[in-house]
Structure 1
Amino acid sequence: MELIVKHFSELSAEELFEIYKLRISVFVVEQNCPYQEADDADRAAYHVWLKDETGIKAYARVLPPGVTFDSAAIGRVIAVKRRCGLGSKIVAAAVNIAKEKFGADKITIEAQTYARRLYEKAVFHQTSEEFLEDGIPHIRMQLTL
């Protein structure tokens, strides 16, 4: 499994297509949630993914402070195959990228509530009550580094 880290400006058209195809298949189609999945935050992000010879297996985007939150942020976390450790690996990689690229001392996420344990394993803690975003229960969480 290979870890790829690229800023938006470095992505090839093919890489961007594969990222958007995966994100839309999960966040729009699978979750039956019509919303503007590709957004302007993508342009400021580092895109991080694990791939093998068949394609992307896990993905996350890492945002600098000031784009979505005052702190660095991680979002759009996907593991194609669930409950096999890929989610934890991509979250750990995203945390490392936030530290390396932005000198992050705090990382904020808005996690789907069902995925809380994944982020708690990475030492994120809940900082908000549950709220609906695009009809899906979420919680805000933070990691202090």
Structure 2
Amino acid sequence: MLDISVKTFDELTTAELYDLLQLRSEIFVVEQDCVYQDMDGKDQKALHIIGVKNDKIVAYARIFKGGDYMAQASIGRVLVKASERQHSYGRDIMETSIKTVEERFQETSIALSAQSYLKRFYNSLGFIEKGGEYLEDGIPHVMMVKG
């Protein structure tokens, strides 16, 4: 069972911040063999959607209100630990992210920069492609918008 919480940057404990940064690095830098600056100075403005199982962060996303990152509200850094991907935690974390954007920011238009291979997953959540494919940190991505 995944326990999902929503926290501001200031509400994160030091241990949570360390664990989520470690997991982001594990997936986006090591697993995907992509050298990039994960700590981009935007975490302080984001709300952090944290999925915990057995006292370990196994799923995560960060969300922004419109104007804090993109013109409209946005979701990014969506991940699920490799050993937990057989569950539907990606869907769980995204559904919580969408609901949180709608409730906390009162916004229904949500953007995300999706890795291209995940287009169908995001389509199933109501996102549609806007524009063509582009490289972000050497990985094919597509802009997607819901609402």
Q: Same fold (TM over 0.5)?
A: yes
Q: 1:87 corresponds to which residue? A: 90
1:41 touches 1:63 (CA, 8 Å); kept in 2? no
Unaligned 5+ residue runs, structure 1?
A: none
Q: Which amino acid aligns with 1:61?
A: R
CA distance in 1, matches of 2:125, 2:106: 18
Q: Deviations over 1:48-69 (max 9, x none)?
A: 0111114012110011111221
Q: 1:52 corresponds to which residue? A: 53
Pairing 1:138–2:141 present: yes
CA distance in 2, matches of 1:108, 1:8: 21
3-state SS in 2 of match to 1:42:
coil
Q: Counterparts of 1:10-21 in structure 2 under 5 Å?
A: 10-21=11-22
Q: 2:79 corresponds to which residue? A: 78
Unaligned 5+ residue runs, structure 2?
A: none
Q: Percent identity?
A: 37
3-state SS in 1 of match to 2:66:
coil
Q: Deviations over 1:66-95 (max 9, x none)?
A: 122110000000011224211111110000
The alpha carbon displacement at 1:9 in A equals: 1.4
Q: 2:124 corresponds to which residue? A: 121
CA distance in 1, matches of 2:20, 2:127: 25
| Cα gap change, 1:83 to 1:127, in 2 (>3 Å) | farther
3-state SS in 1 of match to 2:44:
helix
RMSD over aligned Cα atoms: 1.0
Q: Deviations over 1:29-66 (max 9, x none)?
A: 11111111011111100100111114012110011111
Aligned residues: 144
